Structure 1
Amino acid sequence: MKKRHEMKVLSVETIAKETVEMKLYQPEVSQQTVPGQFLHLLVPGFTLRRPISIAKVDRQEGTVTILFKIVGGGTKALAAYQPGMTVDALGPNGNGFSIDDVSEGGRVLLIGGGIGIPPIYHLAKRLSEKNVELVAVLGFQSKDYVFYEEAFKKIAETYVVTNDGSYGHQGFVTHVFPEVGAFDQYFSCGPLPMLRAVTTELQDSKGKVSLEERMGCGVGACMACVLPTVDNSYKKICSDGPVFSAQEVIL
């Protein structure tokens, strides 16, 4: 069982349509977290905890920044938290992105869609410390939902894509792949249809994907988030993942 923490809320800000950034103070969690992991938050009045991706970590400050979209009563209640309040959290949970095989001086493609972008940003920050050339492709529904563009531009060649063309390129993240050029490997996080399209388009490339599917228990007990693999077995997104080799799982 993952360790339970009381995390102090330092700030809460709406940074795009229905998109909230929350900065939390908990030094132990900030030291342990790797890109791709998540926190499992308890919201009073709701039975199931909410799995929320980690977008930033500052180990010196002892802070962890999470990002989430308001999609129901639980996340709406979480968005109403005020600085000074505390959040009951389990974590950091799951297996994150391994970057041990990323060589210094290499070129890496990062692909994020919607609320799958926060863990990709956390990963980008870590990779930027390794002197790696980064290319980021970020997909959103429309202009109103765009966030973190300027933050990515500071560390990566960045493409923004919107479904309706209201900002950046029109279409899906895969539509700009021809402009990206060669890369050594890719990392992606986003909704399942996007990940299917990405892995199909980049089937000959080395890659890792992070799934943001809804979870039940979040600790591998309830079997609500199983995923088939190429060797005819199953993996649990919450505990075996959420990060997998693109060649390992069947999306």
Structure 2
Amino acid sequence: MIREDLTVVDHTLVAEDTYQLILCGRMVHDIKQPGQFVHIRTSTDEYLRRPVSISDYNIDEETITLLYKVIGKGTKALTAYQIGDSLDVLGPGGRGFPVKARPGENVLLTGGGIGVPPLYRLAHELYEKGADLTIILGFQSIRHAFLKSEFQQYGSVHIMTDDGTSGNKGFVTDGIAGMSGSFDRYYTCGPTPMLKAVVKQLGDTEGYISMEERMGCGIGACFACVVPSHDEKGYKRICCDGPVFHHKEVVLT
């Protein structure tokens, strides 16, 4: 990971309490996989940075696209940054999604809430490999939904909302239950209860999960973001061993 002052080139409200932030800088050349994250320091952060998943990036334009939800004073402070401002960013961090697909394979992508953004670049790269994508996105309501039309260029998109105001009423697992046929592989990102339910529902299907977790250092030194695992250590650090894991690597509690 490197530290760089990135320049804000776009900052837009895209859904209720959810913003798209586009940053420009050389850091984009160090991104290796979809699903990695950056660690941002805002004007209110004396010690801890804010981890935000990378949604997309453009090497030629040297831009990194992030989507974040306002959930506290740090992300609230982030909304004040305007085009031309600089942000202190550490990244890109973590282990992202392995882009595994052959032409014609049926691949499922499921995301819930702010777990949706890291799946966007993944969808792009899987589509380029010829995979047939089924994409299930879950949100609280129509007011909280975003990226639907953007995902539609890569596959069949199904929206689930808690209140039924967009797509079908229910959770992403309800959407999976309504699908016919089987999948060769799945990728999912969202809160732990959702990940646990998806893994249980899809059984032995090969899957990769991306975990959402508040971090301390972001580089694996503080052990503030560990998850139980099946290996000899008994744990994995989400910030550097993850945030993406094979579904059999970790224990979701």
TM band (smaller chain): over 0.9
Give the match for residue 15 of structure 2: 16
Report the Cα distance in structure 2 between the residues aligned to 1:127 and 1:22, rounded to whole angstroms: 24
CA distance in 2, matches of 1:62, 1:105: 32
Equivalent position of 1:243 in the other structure: 244
**Separation in 2, partners of 1:189, 1:127:** 16
Whether 1:206 aligns to 2:210 is: no
1:156 aligns with 2:160: no
1:184 aligned partner: 184
1:29 aligns with 2:28: yes
Deviations 1:126-178 (A, max 9, x none): 11111111110000011110000001111110100001112111111010113
Amino acid at match of 1:35: P
Work out the percentage of aligned pairs sharing the same amino acid: 46
| Distance in 1 of aligned mates of 2:29 and 2:147 | 20
CA deviations over 1:55-104 (Å, ceiling 9, x no partner): 111111111100100001110111110000011111100000111x3222
**Map 1:47-126 → 2, pairs under 5 A:** 47-99=47-99, 101-126=100-125
Distance, in Å, in 2 between the alignment partners of 1:213 and 1:108 is 25
- C-alpha distance in 1 between matches for 2:172 and 2:164: 12
Contact 2:27 2:91 (C-alpha < 8 Å) held by counterparts: no
CA distance in 2 between counterparts of 1:112 and 1:175 reads: 13
Taking the aligned partners of 1:32 and 1:239, their CA distance within structure 2 comes to 14
1:197-248 Cα distance to aligned partner (Å, 9 max, x none): 1011112211000001111111111111111112361000001000000011
> SS where residue 176 of structure 1 aligns?
helix
- RMSD between superposed Cα atoms in Å: 1.2
What is the DSSP-based 3-state SS (H/G/I as helix, E as strand, rest coil) of the residue aligned with 1:122?
Answer: helix
8 Å CA contact 1:29, 1:91 repeated in 2: no
Name the stretch that deviates more: 41-50 or 67-76: 41-50
- Structure 1 residues 40 and 86: alpha-carbon distance in aligned structure 2, compared to 1, 3 A threshold: same
Report how many aligned residue pairs link the two structures: 249
Cα distance in structure 2, aligned partners of 1:148 and 1:45: 29
TM norm structure 2: 0.95
Q: Secondary structure at the match of 2:117?
A: helix
Match of 2:228 in 1: 228
Quick one: which amino acid aligns to residue 240 of structure 2? S
1:97-125 deviation line (CA, Å, top 9, x unaligned)? 111x3222211100001001000111101
Structure 1 range deviating more: 33-42 or 234-243: 33-42
Instruction: Give the alignment of 1:120-159 within 5 angstroms.
Output: 120-159=119-158
SS at match of 1:200: helix
Offset, 1:31: 5.1
Which letter maps to 2:82? Q
User: Structure 2 vs 1, CA of residues 33 and 24 (structure 1 numbering), >3 Å: closer, same or farther?
Assistant: farther
Q: Greater shift after overlay, 101-110 or 241-250?
A: 101-110
Matches of 2:29 and 2:58, distance apart in 1: 7
Supply the AA of the counterpart residue of 2:41: L
Q: What is the TM-score with the length of structure 1 in the denominator?
A: 0.96
- Aligned-pair distance for 1:30? 4.3
Unmatched 5+ stretches in structure 2:
none
